[in-house]
Amino acid sequence: MRVDDAVWVTNSPSLISSGEETLGKGELSGLRLAVKDLFDIKGAVTGFGNPDWAATHEPAERTATAVQKLLAAGATYVGKTQTDELAYSLNGANIHYGTPVNPAARDRLPGGSSSGSAVAVALGEADIGLGTDTGGSIRVPASYCGLYGLRPSWGVIDISAVQALAYHFDTVGLLTRDVDVLVRAADVLLPNQPVAQFSEVCVLEPEGVDFSADMIESHLSSLGLKATSKPLSADMMARASEAFRVIQGRDIWRCHGDWITRVHPHIARDIKSRLDWCATLTQEDENKAIQERKRIVEWLNESSHHGERLICLPSTPGASPLLTLTGEPLAAYRTRLMGMTALAGLWSAPVAALPWLEQEGAPWGISLMAAPHNDRSLITLLSN
């Protein structure tokens, strides 16, 4: 296995002893597992993408439940992968450890914060990338790197011994190169749920994005889905982005504000500016955002016919931004992106990330979203 320092934190884990490790035989036997550096591995420090975090935290006393379950099913653990600092970015860049090279578009960002797991899978150095998705950190790198992914319903996959970013939105997610492996890995992690049959999908067409339902009609038809389209206005995206950011920001400061204030860690300028903004948020700001969330969830429920049909939209506004995009233009892009990814987080909904589109020769993904707790229904649809 080639070890790229910008992708791998270590390929010599202390999970059991050293080197490549597995705990059992089962449905994932023969598949290699790369783990985002938010998941605790017993005996190793969880670095959270920041050297000051690693220096101020002790080695983990246990291994994350999700990792244990995948290993018990036969997966082979090949190492921990890089993440954006404190997982608070969607770019895939890290000023301390470097930016993993997107093998699907080497001149473009790989997407974060599960960047290392995504790149390891896209390179073929792992078959399953274990990551997290709070504001899009599975769906965005899947879109940019041409991968399949799963962001589950909030709370359905055990997130024990995983470093938190924002409690109300954090989920454990998966990245794979093909849908069969995604289905098999999801089957290991997901709880038992009733399985519903879907025959209709509402395709949201985001204002200002060069996308229409007919671009994916053949893919939807192959899944037995009849599509109708509906505009997703710029106003709705702006409201979703702001509500999500405020609730997330309050969670982040509750979780990490004390450490940030005490340690004064060295953090990338864009991430630090967002953390500084989190510190200014008030309970009144959060209450207003929660009310806005309720209105957006009601709109999503209506759009899905109260869960009877799926919702589909592009995972991102287009192909990954070029590496040369920085500063205010990149910040403006993030706000636009969040208006699309925030919908699933606000709804607590499961999303399958699908590599169906291409733009300027680079991958561009689609998000297929179900009402909360329809994770197995979504995975069953993909397996047919």
Alpha carbons 354 and 143: distance in angstroms, whole number: 7
Q: Write phi, then psi, for 354 (nearest 5 degrees).
A: -130, 130
Write the DSSP assignment of 122-173 as a string of letters: HHTS-SEEEEEESSSTTHHHHHHHT-EEEEPPTTSS--TTB--S-TTT-EEE
The number of CA neighbours under 13 Å toward the Cβ of 184 is 22
Asked, for residue 268, whether it belongs to a domain, the answer is yes
Q: Which of 137, 143, 320, 377 is catalytic?
A: 137
Q: Is 285 exposed, middle or buried (0-12, 13-18, 19+ CB in 10 A)?
A: middle
Asked, for residue 276, whether it belongs to a domain, the answer is yes
Alpha carbons 177 and 184: distance in angstroms, whole number: 13
Are 144 and 102 within 8 A, CB to CB?
A: yes
Query: Over the stretch 276-315, which tens digit does the pLDDT of each residue have?
Result: 999 999 999 999 999 999 999 999 999 999 999 999 999 9
Asked, for residue 302, whether it belongs to a domain, the answer is yes
Output the pLDDT for position 14: 31
Asked, for residue 75, whether it belongs to a domain, the answer is yes
Q: Write phi, then psi, for 108 (nearest 5 degrees).
A: -130, 160
In single-letter form, the type of residue at position 98 comes to G
Q: What is the CATH number of the domain that holds 67?
A: 3.90.1300.10
Are 122 and 31 within 8 A, CB to CB?
A: no
Domain that holds residue 368: 8-383
Asked, for residue 334, whether it belongs to a domain, the answer is yes
pLDDT averaged over the chain? 94
Asked, for residue 235, whether it belongs to a domain, the answer is yes
Q: How many domains does the chain have?
A: 1
Q: Is 283 exposed, middle or buried (0-12, 13-18, 19+ CB in 10 A)?
A: exposed
In single-letter form, the type of residue at position 204 comes to L
Asked, for residue 1, whether it belongs to a domain, the answer is no
Query: pTM for this one?
Result: 0.95
Asked, for residue 3, whether it belongs to a domain, the answer is no
Among 34, 118, 131, CA closest to 76:
34
Query: Over the stretch 16-43, which tens digit does the pLDDT of each residue have?
Result: 223 456 666 799 999 999 999 999 999 9
Are 7 and 120 within 8 A, CB to CB?
A: yes
Q: Write phi, then psi, for 35 (nearest 5 degrees).
A: -120, 125
Does the active-site annotation cover 113? yes
Query: Over the stretch 233-270, which tens digit does the pLDDT of each residue have?
Result: 999 999 999 999 999 999 999 999 999 999 999 999 99
Counting other chains too, the contacts that 257-263 makes at CB distance below 8 Å and 24 or more residues apart are: 259/53, 259/56, 263/52, 263/56
Q: Is 363 exposed, middle or buried (0-12, 13-18, 19+ CB in 10 A)?
A: buried
Does the active-site annotation cover 18? no
Distance, CA of 125 to chain centre: 19
Output the pLDDT for position 259: 98
Q: Which of 113, 143, 303, 377 is catalytic?
A: 113
